[in-house]
Amino acid sequence: MPKSLISIHDFSRDEILHILDLAEKFEKNPFQPVLKGKIVACIFFEPSTRTRLSFETAANRLGTRIIGFSDAGNTSVSKGETLKDTIKMVSNYADLIVMRHPLEGSARYASEVSSVPVINAGDGANQHPSQTLLDLYSIRKTQGRLDNLNINMVGDLKYGRTVHSLLQAMSHFNPNFVFTSPEELKMPQEYKSYLNKLSIPYKETKELKDCIKESDILYMTRVQQERFTDAIEYERVKNCYSLNAAMLEGCKENMRILHPLPRVNEIATDVDESRHAYYFEQAGNGVFTRMAIIAYLLGQ
């Protein structure tokens, strides 16, 4: 079975650092057609804007050709073709598969039946490891290091897959975590137990204002209305987790605000002009990171 990227824990600390180093080289020189002649299949069984476009941009910059679909409705899937058969067929055509699928675990299964590497571009609410790698890349680029950082995760820490994967990936680098969330959306116990086992310190708070000053990274996520059973509770909470420029007063010079995007209310537009805002550059880093992942899995 060829090496695939399905979950962030498929990659060791050394592999993660290798990917980030590669991404840095691609950022310095983004036009490197080192994979000319290869074919990348981008098969998206559900809609995506940023992820699909950034994977396609990355593959183009590496000089590959791209095949695929962005809507399963026009494919044999609508005739009832199983995922196994689709993957068997596509892996005969392409050298690497980038897949997004609404079912959790679909990417792991695809990697088991595929004869070529598979990159998980999101399997339902489960994993989205290229997002995690681009988060790590953004953190290292803005802080100059990954070790011993104060990471403050804010918002939906219960259902947000990006915070769970980032927590696992950062655990290699001796972090200090703050979890800022409403009671309903607290970090699940299984992740706190995971940190306890590794003796990684964390504290929990409901107040966003509490821990901004000591943070190196403020990782914002969207608080989604559909997660609340009580509409009044949502109205109360949504503004508590809305960051505005005034709240940044007194924060560390090196502090940067990340967000996996799209954002809605959680970061006011007056923050966009702040030197601490980094979420748009973060999205741009996705291309270099994905170039690095593709190149690594294809043996470059």
Partner 1 sequence: MEKQLKVSAIKNGTVLDHIPADQLFKVIDILGLNNSENQMTFGTNLESKLLGKKAIIKVSEMFFEPSEINKIALIAPDAKINIIHDFEVVEKRVLTIPNEINGIVKCMNPMCITNHQAVETKFTTISDKPDFQLLCRYCEKTTDRKNLKIISNL
Query: What residue ranges bind partner 1 (CB under 8 A)?
Result: 7, 82-84, 102-106, 108-109, 123-127, 190
Smaller CB distance to partner 1: residue 127 or 142?
127
Residue 153 belongs to what H/E stretch? strand 150-154
* Residue placing its CB nearer to partner 1 in the complex, 67 or 103: 103
Q: How many CA atoms lie within 13 A of 278 on its CB side?
A: 24
The dihedral over CA atoms of 151, 152, 155, 157, expressed in degrees to the nearest 10, equals 50
At its nearest, how many Å lie between partner 1 and the CB of residue 155? Answer: 22
- Give the helix/strand (H/E) hosting 195: helix 189-197
Q: Which is nearer to partner 1, 127 or 138 (CB)?
A: 127
User: With respect to partner 1, which residue has the nearer C-beta, 7 or 114?
Assistant: 7
DSSP codes joined into one string, 2-39: ---B-SGGGS-HHHHHHHHHHHHHHHHS----TTTT-E
On whether the CB atoms of residues 69 and 93 are closer than 8 A, the answer is: no
d(CA 54, CA 233): 36
18, exposed or middle or buried, with CB in 10 Å at 0-12, 13-18, 19+?
middle
Nearest approach in angstroms of CB 83 to partner 1 is 6
CB of 126 to partner 1, least distance (A): 6
Minimal distance, residue 107 CB to partner 1, in Å:
9
Min separation Cβ 269 and partner 1, Å:
34
How far apart, in whole angstroms, are the C-alpha atoms of residue 42 and residue 248?
Answer: 40
For partner 1, the closer of residues 107 and 295 by Cβ is 107
Q: Are 99 and 121 in contact (CB under 8 A)?
A: yes
Residue 86 vs 180, nearer CB to partner 1: 86
- C-beta closer to partner 1: residue 56 or 123: 123
Minimum CB separation of residue 194 from partner 1 in Å reads 11
Name the minimum Å distance from CB 187 to partner 1.
16
Report how far Cα 28 is from the mean position of its chain's Cα atoms.
22
Beta bridge partners of 101: 123
